[in-house]
Amino acid sequence: MYCNLNTLRKLTLVLIFFATGFNLMAQVAQAPLAHPTVPAIIEQVKKKYAPDKRVAVFQVEPDSNKLRGKTNLPLAKKELLGRLKNNGFELIDEVKLLPDVKELEDKIYAIVNVSVANIRTQPKEAAELATQALLGTTLKVLDKDRYWYLVQTPDNYIGWVEGTTIKRFVKTDIEVYGSKPKLMFAKPFGFAFTEADENTQTVSDLTWGNLLTVKDTLADYYEVAYPDARNGFVLKHEVVSYQEWKKITSPSPESLTKTAYRMMGLPYLWGGTSWKGVDCSGYMRMVFQTNGILLPRDASQQAFVGEEVAFENLQVGDLLFFGEKSTADKPERVVHVGMWIGNNEFIHSSGMVRISSFDKESTRYDAGNAARYLRARRILGLGTDKGIVSLKN
C-alpha cells in the first residue's frame, strides 16, 4: 500500500510538471501578440519614417495575431514587417497602404474648388482646423471617410477636407490641368461673376493666390474655368499670369516688409493661411509665399529651415521663434513665430497681425514674447540645401 501511494504521488508530480510545461509553452506561443518588443519595433520604425504625424501617416498597432492600421509610407511598412519577422513575430498583415486606390476609384488627386478649403485634424466639421488650401491647389488624396477625404498638400501637410470643397481626378486629368495656363487672383478679396459685368451674380468669392484656368480673353475680363467646370468672369486688373508672376517675383527685405504691412490688422485664426485669417505661422507662410518662397506650415517646422542667426546680427526678413527653452527634462518647444522688421521690432499674428517691440521703453513693448524668445533663422538668400523651397521650381 505504501509503495502504491508513493507511485501515485510520483505520477501526480509528473502530471503537474507536464501540465505546467504545456501551459508555459502555450504562453510562449502567444507571447508575440502581447510581447513588449512588438510595439517597441513599431515605435522604432515610426520614429525613423514618420516622426511628424502632420506630414506622414503611420497608424499601426498589433491586434491579436494581426497587424492593423494604415500608412502612406511603403518603405516604412516593408521595414516594419521585415523587423517583426526577423524577431520571430509572424503577424498577419492587415495594414492598409495609402492611397487606397480601390476605395478612391483611382481618383487619388484633387484640386481645391473653393476660394479657401478648410483642412481639419479629423473628418468632421467640429474638428480642429489644421491648415487651409487655396482654390486651384493640387492635393494628393489618401483615404476616405463618408464624404470626407484625407488629403496631403504640396508642402506635405495632411488633414481631412469636406468632399464638396474639392474636385477629384485621376492622374492623367491632373497632368492635363497642370499644363494649362493659369491666372492668379492678385487682390486680397474679390469675386468671379456669371457674366462680364461686376453687377451680375457671383460664381464665388476669390482671395489672393487663387488659381483659375483661362478660357477666353475679353476687353476688360477673362473668362475662367473652375476645377469642377463652372465658368466665370474676372476683371483683368485683378489677376496676373501665374507663370509670369513666378518668373518676376523676387523676395527681398523690402518686398517682405511691404507684404507684411499690407496684412496689418488681419484677425488671428487658428489654422488660417489666407487673407480670411491667419495664425502666426500661417501669416509668415503667406508673407513669404506672396514673395515666391514656400515655407513649411507650422512654426516648429519653420524653425528648422534656413540658417540660425544671432539676435545682434538680425536683418529685416529674419524669422524669430518663441516658446519654451529646453531643460534637462524636456526639449525646446517652439509655439510662436514673427518676422524682424528692424528698430528692435517684429511683426506677427497674435490676436491680429500687429507690430511688437523688444524695447522696454516702447509703447509696443511685448514683455511676454520677449521673455520666451528662443532664436532666429535667416531665409533670404538661401537655397534648397537649407530647406528653402522656391515657387519658381
Q: How does residue 96 score in pLDDT terms, banded at 50, 70 and 90?
A: very high
Q: What is the pLDDT of residue 57?
A: 98
Q: What is the pLDDT of residue 37?
A: 87
Let me know whether 190 and 283 are in one domain.
Answer: no
**What is the percentage of the chain residues whose pLDDT exceeds 90?**
89
Which of 247, 262, 291 lies at the terminal end of a domain, its last residue?
247
Q: What is the pLDDT of residue 62?
A: 94
Let me know whether 280 and 231 are in one domain.
Answer: no
DSSP state of 220: S
CATH number of domain containing 343: 3.90.1720.10
Task: Summarize the confidence of residues 108-134 as an average pLDDT.
Answer: 98
Which of residues 15 and 390 earns the better pLDDT score?
390
Respond yes or no: is residue 280 known to be catalytic: yes
**What is the percentage of the chain residues whose pLDDT exceeds 70?**
91
Residue 90 lies in a domain: no
Q: How many domains does one find in the chain?
A: 4
Q: How does residue 393 score in pLDDT terms, banded at 50, 70 and 90?
A: confident
Is pLDDT of 6 > 60?
Answer: no
183 closest CA partner among 207, 217, 210: 210
Got the DSSP string for 50-84? -S-TTT--EEEEEETTEEEEEES-HHHHHHHHHHH
Look at residue 248 and give its three-state secondary structure: helix
**Residue 284: which domain range?**
249-390
Let me know whether 136 and 184 are in one domain.
Answer: no
Task: Summarize the confidence of residues 252-259 as an average pLDDT.
Answer: 98
Residue 54 lies in a domain: no
pLDDT digit string, tens, across residues 165-207 = 999 999 999 999 999 999 999 999 999 999 999 999 999 999 9
Task: Summarize the confidence of residues 261-281 as an average pLDDT.
Answer: 98
CATH number of domain containing 200: 2.30.30.40
Let me know whether 243 and 285 are in one domain.
Answer: no
Q: What is the pLDDT of residue 311?
A: 98
Look at residue 162 and give its three-state secondary structure: strand
pLDDT digit string, tens, across residues 302-333 = 999 999 999 999 999 999 999 999 999 999 99
pLDDT digit string, tens, across residues 284-299 = 999 999 999 999 999 9
Let me know whether 283 and 342 are in one domain.
Answer: yes
Q: What is the pLDDT of residue 22?
A: 45
Catalytic residue selected from 3, 35, 237, 348: 348
**Mean pLDDT taken over the chain:** 92
Catalytic residue selected from 3, 35, 237, 336: 336
161 closest CA partner among 170, 150, 171, 172: 150
Is pLDDT of 13 > 70?
Answer: no
Task: Summarize the confidence of residues 124-138 as an average pLDDT.
Answer: 97
User: What residue has cell string 519614417?
Assistant: 49
- pTM for this model (two decimals): 0.88
Q: What is the pLDDT of residue 392?
A: 85
Is pLDDT of 378 > 80?
Answer: yes
Let me know whether 107 and 202 are in one domain.
Answer: no
CA distances 130 to 123, 163, 209, 299, 333, Å, are 12, 16, 19, 13, 18
pLDDT digit string, tens, across residues 26-82 = 444 444 444 558 999 999 999 999 999 999 999 999 998 999 999 999 999 999 999
Task: Summarize the confidence of residues 262-277 as an average pLDDT.
Answer: 97
Let me know whether 256 and 313 are in one domain.
Answer: yes
Let me know whether 148 and 234 are in one domain.
Answer: no
Is pLDDT of 2 > 70?
Answer: no
Q: What is the pLDDT of residue 35?
A: 54
d(CA 132, CA 210): 12
DSSP state of 145: E
